[in-house]
Structure 1
Amino acid sequence: MVLFALRNPQIDAQVLDERLRQSLFNYVDQAIVELPSDVAALFHRFRAELKLMTEVLLWLARLSKGLSYGQAMVGIRYENYSKRVAVIHFLLTVFPSYLSSRAQNFVQNVVILKFFARIEAICRLVALLFHFYFIRYGGVRTMAERILQLCTIYEKPPVLGTVNYSALNRDFLWLLCRDVITFFLPIIDRLGRILQFRFFNNFFIQTVSDGIICSHCKRKAILPVRDNICGHINCYYCYQVITSCTMCGTNLNKNNFRFLQNESNSRIDASDAAII
């Protein structure tokens, strides 16, 4: 007898898969930051392709095992999930977002861009409605699962009246680690900021003869940018990765910055205008 999976394990599997995906994306971004400036600029142009390759690696693992990392953790899988269905599932899940991101870079026609934006908005609305329906009634979780008629089942049907102590111990250890990290991380961050302000602040923010020092990685700034709120200088790639300023803790808005090159050019233009 086939027992369909409940909503909770399906959502848990989705959350685990998303966390793994975001962790890999963050590692890719950090690797790009560590590269030389000319190589980093080249890789940054193809950042969407790097993410696509990361997705391909994750889906190759799913194709070989027949289930994703999150599904393996919670003990569920798709019923009748053949390799052909997995490939179509990959195309329906990953490629639309990739094509939408690339259309904004290569398509110059405003009408076509608006068309892509409307299609993307409609897809997001449909995905949201599917999610609400799934939360209320269960069944399929996404539009791709509905198209492919995928049903999520348990690998081993749960037995009522038994306690999975290994799962409980894993959950308790995770909750304990989370509480410890939540308690000590602000303290460590605060102490680090105090020590940095007292001993290293004046050294790292100064301008040296061969360039400007990034306030995050403490190296020569690559494509230096200045935040419009706090005024501190970072590498462009460091600025895109961090969420708050390393020096003062200000929350950063990724669109609220300016390149130092543009800033210097504007000053030169202003001085030329004053001379004229």
Structure 2
Amino acid sequence: MLKPLLAVAIAGAFATASTITLAATPKLNDKQYFSQPSLDVVVFSNWYNGLFGDSKISGVELIHFGERTATNGDVRLSATPEQWDPIPTFVERKVDQASGTISATLAYPEYDFTYTITARPINNGVEITLSSPNPLPPALEGKAGFNMEFLPATYMETSFLADGKPGSFPLYPTGVKEIIGEHEPQPLATGQHLVLAPESPQKRVSIKSESLPLALYDGRAKAQNGWYVVRGLLPAGKSGTLAKWQLTASTDDNWLRAPVIGHSQVGYLPQQTKRAVI
């Protein structure tokens, strides 16, 4: 009985929240990222810090209603990467103002695998295409996938839809635990279309995969700093386009960032002019 009620509640909330999103296309601005009111999409403007492979600062990233809620959109070799897991080598980044696209080429040289991630703007988000001139090396079959990580503090205790089937993000990590590499985490859900927080007009994110299934994981089951992860395994024996996602989010054309007021942290002298910066 619980799941049907949850489905009805989510569907009602989704219908209400959907009216807030307006169809608009983010623009590639002079700072080389995609932007529209309430949504920015950053594509490899930053790089991992070189010490930890799970630093949440690179790849394709979402800044949603002023908060960075998703990051590390990139090819990884496990469903929920940890700090010592391998990261790719950065090759180059290209920004094409004429076509309005950003592309980044990366490689796992130890596996002789090079790939390119390209993002182009669509209504309320971007289309992400992952391509490679060569098929996936046999050593990476069943291991390499396109991952994107979502902030637990934003999504815990909200709901999700996987091909229309409802579920909820756990407050605490649950499921099978890993014992020295013996077990891989089990997905919370799988499907071609995932919607995160459909009930929330300021958290909702939609991910549609053109051909390959998506899996939703709770990375906290393996590491205390793990995030929720959406992952699509790359196909074996195929070159050219390996994966294509439509990544969109709820937006509000009238949204404005809350002002930040800066003032002295050490106080002011009695005769000093008290100034604040907005």
More strand by share: 2
Same fold (TM over 0.5): no
Structure of greater Rg: 1
TM-score by length of 1: 0.20
Q: TM-score, normalised by structure 2?
A: 0.20
Q: Which has the higher contact order (CA 8 A, sep 6+)?
A: 2
Structure in which a larger fraction of residues adopt helix = 1
